[in-house]
Amino acid sequence: MKKITVIALIGIMLLSVAFIIKKPENNRTADEVLSEAKAKYDMQAYIIGEDPYTIDIDLYNEKDKDKVEKYLTENLTNGDLEKYTIKLYSEWNEIN
């Protein structure tokens, strides 16, 4: 009986650790994330396209490119990251 109790407790502890470690899924929409990014970074505008699925972002300062990409990667859902092609521009000239 003690073995079953110990095994059950170990199982519960392992499941608890797995849920704690798992990053919670972000429930914000792409528009909400981009609106926050616009307020945080020097973004002139953004467009979310549905046909084709693209996110076009125009930056005032080309130097913010890496920061914006990192922010989007960390804050958009995995589904949005897979769904949309993200393009960054400075004065609507594409940044490579």
Q: How far apart are CA 55 and CA 78, in angstroms?
A: 15
Q: Is residue 52 part of a domain?
A: yes
Residues 28, 75 contacting (CB under 8 angstroms):
yes
Q: Residue 59's pLDDT is what?
A: 93
**Per-residue pLDDT at 13:** 75
Q: What is the CATH number of the domain that holds 78?
A: 3.30.300
- In terms of Cβ atoms closer than 10 Å to its own Cβ (0-12, 13-18, 19+), residue 58 is middle
The answer to whether residue 64 sits within a structural domain is: yes
- Domain membership flag for residue 16: no
Q: What is the pLDDT of residue 84?
A: 96
Per-residue pLDDT of the chain (96 residues; tens, 9 = 90+): 777 777 777 777 776 666 565 555 578 899 999 999 999 998 999 999 998 999 999 999 889 999 999 999 999 999 999 999 999 998 888 886
Number of domains in the chain: 1
Asked if residue 84 belongs to a domain, the reply is yes
Instruction: Give this prediction's pTM.
Output: 0.68
By residue range, what is the domain housing residue 33?
A: 27-94
The answer to the question of residue 13 being in a domain is no
In a domain, 71, yes or no: yes
